[in-house]
Structure 1
């Protein structure tokens, strides 16, 4: 397991904790692989009733490292990062266990779009949510173009995904993808409470009911593939490469 990811099984819950504080939990290829494996191996284990994904206070995850993005954009071949990220998104799509997210800081890019796959999201007042794809000349990913309008309505999804506007925890709650807002440092503890509540319910009934309220996995993976193709095209566009270079020029100034 990567040093930047901690996987623990506690009671009936598998806890996936991102631990790369120096990079605000920006996700590496190894972290994508580790999260995918943790989700996939939980599926056939009846002792695991829930999955929690958490970061630390200050950062859930900053998404992908932009330096890696720029390298991918100038590459002439498909990148390992893209395939690892897609594998993780496929794992989320095919997952049959309730997933709870504990967001206690910034959630950028896939840090926000992965939440649309979760069943229960707890955010602290220190959280923030943003999908700044448009500012980098990119397009939405993670089936967010399908899930976000379904969860929050077209207008809110447009403002977030197309205009690149960020949301506060209370705005995210009003939009429908955050269940509860708690004090800083309390998100993960509250997530464990929710996991215990779910784990105490009849397992088969939970699984069937969850499947009924979720979109079919094939719908999600079809949109992930569509977005992924367009995302890859945009990564190589002059518009996107120019946006990345401008970002790093501002960062060095």
Structure 2
């Protein structure tokens, strides 16, 4: 798959660890594929009761690797297949997912957390969805889930104005469950995972299903967002914004 995603199983917990520190764990299509595979193969494995997604100490993820993303969408009409498959895996997943965020969570780094069940953030965490800065629109059903999660006004500030949240602001908004010391997010995530694994797996699964939106509803929003995202990617504003970003990256 890729050396930038490390998957390990221990005590009924599957840990999916992003490991591309030199690029702040920026997500490539290979990384999306590896994460999707790790989630999918846990679904029918009774020995895995909980999943943890972490970026390790210091950073969660800087979001999409723009070079990789642009290369994977030469006609700019739709999301790359692995990115879309990862979203499908999150939506269809039936196992509790805990996120351990230490450092920045940009774009998809924040969006994927909306699909997680319990989020721990260190004091150094910062959450942003700067789609508007590239003249594009939200993705990953974030336009549906974020207002439900934190209220319309906060969602508007993040998605339509490009504002970010620090760890305490995210906790106040209801987006983060716990704020912990820097470097301790993954340790605390393991404690939460052990707590979940000690409970009835059937009762947890049923309760989780009752709490969450139906997968079909989320997939419909992902498809709508994807169509609008593709339209925006072809706009002069978005093309100029991506070209400017790539030009800055060269220097």
Contact 1:72/1:235, CA 8 A, preserved across alignment = no
> How many angstroms apart in 2 are the aligned matches of 1:241 and 1:68?
15
SS at match of 1:100: strand
Q: CA deviation at 1:191?
A: 0.3
Q: CA deviation at 1:29?
A: 1.1
Q: CA deviation at 1:70?
A: 4.0
Q: CA deviation at 1:250?
A: 4.3
Which residue of structure 1 aligns with residue 56 of structure 2?
Answer: 56
1:233 equivalent among 231, 234, 240: 231
SS at match of 2:31: helix
> How many angstroms apart in 2 are the aligned matches of 1:117 and 1:160?
17
1:75-224 matched pairs, under 5 angstroms:
75-76=74-75, 82-224=80-222
Q: TM-score normalized by structure 1?
A: 0.95
With over 3 angstroms needed to count, the CA separation of the structure-2 counterparts of 1:77 and 1:110, relative to structure 1, is closer
> How many angstroms apart in 1 are the aligned matches of 2:152 and 2:44?
36
With over 3 angstroms needed to count, the CA separation of the structure-2 counterparts of 1:136 and 1:78, relative to structure 1, is closer
Which residue of structure 2 aligns with residue 30 of structure 1?
Answer: 30
Q: CA deviation at 1:230?
A: 1.1
> How many angstroms apart in 2 are the aligned matches of 1:155 and 1:116?
17
With over 3 angstroms needed to count, the CA separation of the structure-2 counterparts of 1:10 and 1:108, relative to structure 1, is same
Contact 2:69/2:80, CA 8 A, preserved across alignment = no
Contact 1:56/1:105, CA 8 A, preserved across alignment = no
Q: CA deviation at 1:66?
A: 1.8
SS at match of 1:181: strand
Q: TM-score normalized by structure 2?
A: 0.96
> How many angstroms apart in 2 are the aligned matches of 1:241 and 1:180?
39
Q: What RMSD, in angstroms, separates the aligned Cα atoms of the two structures?
A: 1.5
> How many angstroms apart in 1 are the aligned matches of 2:41 and 2:244?
41
> How many angstroms apart in 2 are the aligned matches of 1:103 and 1:196?
18
Contact 1:52/1:101, CA 8 A, preserved across alignment = yes
Contact 2:29/2:69, CA 8 A, preserved across alignment = no
SS at match of 1:221: helix
Contact 2:120/2:178, CA 8 A, preserved across alignment = yes
Which stretch has the larger CA shift, 233-242 or 207-216? 233-242
